[in-house]
Amino acid sequence: MTITEGLQEIKTLMKRIEKKREFVKGYLWRMNQIRDPHEAHGGSQEVVRKERQAIKDLEDNIVDLRRRIAEANAKTQVTVSGITKTIADWIIWRREIASPRKRFLEAMYSRIQSAREQATQKGIQIVNSELQAGGGDLIINVNEKDLAFEIEKTEDILSTLDGQLSMKNATISI
């Protein structure tokens, strides 16, 4: 089974669990005067007990699949834009790092551009080093070319990463 198949199996198991839970909720109690609809199968108590055990077994299957997927992700490396990380690390990077990083870099770029525009309107000279600066000059403390490259590289990684992960998920066995 591949990771992709495992993830699909988890979705299927979750649907089956939900149906079984709904079934169990429907037979939690009955009035004594009403005939037990599961009498032929050992009674509603027995049917509910078996269904609850089936739910537990399905839940255990999900845990097993998730563990196997996590193990495969922790072992398998992927290279994106010259950076090699395990799939597990790439997933964490995408979920927790990528968006805040991209917003931060874009905010830096935007603030520099805004400062440039204001300085230009006021006739203030813009320099990249304190050594070149005069008393009223605006000093840019970031290499703008490097910043633009970093923004572009982050966007490139994000655009490439999902395809790489999908391809690996379709080929890695768990």
Annotated domain spans of the chain: 3-75, 78-171
Low-confidence ranges of the chain (pLDDT < 50): none
pLDDT tens per residue across span 148-164: 999 999 999 999 999 99
Res 134: pLDDT: 66
What's the predicted TM-score (pTM) here? 0.79
Res 139: pLDDT: 85
Alpha carbon separation from 123 to 119, 120, 131, 135, 137 (Å, rounded): 6, 5, 20, 13, 9
Instruction: Select from 155, 165, 4 the least CA-distant residue to 78.
Output: 165
Q: Are the C-beta atoms of residues 86 and 92 closer than 8 Å to each other? A: no
Res 2: pLDDT: 97
Q: Are the C-beta atoms of residues 13 and 1 closer than 8 Å to each other? A: no
pLDDT tens per residue across span 26-46: 999 999 999 999 999 999 999
Cα dihedral sign, 47-51-52-57: positive
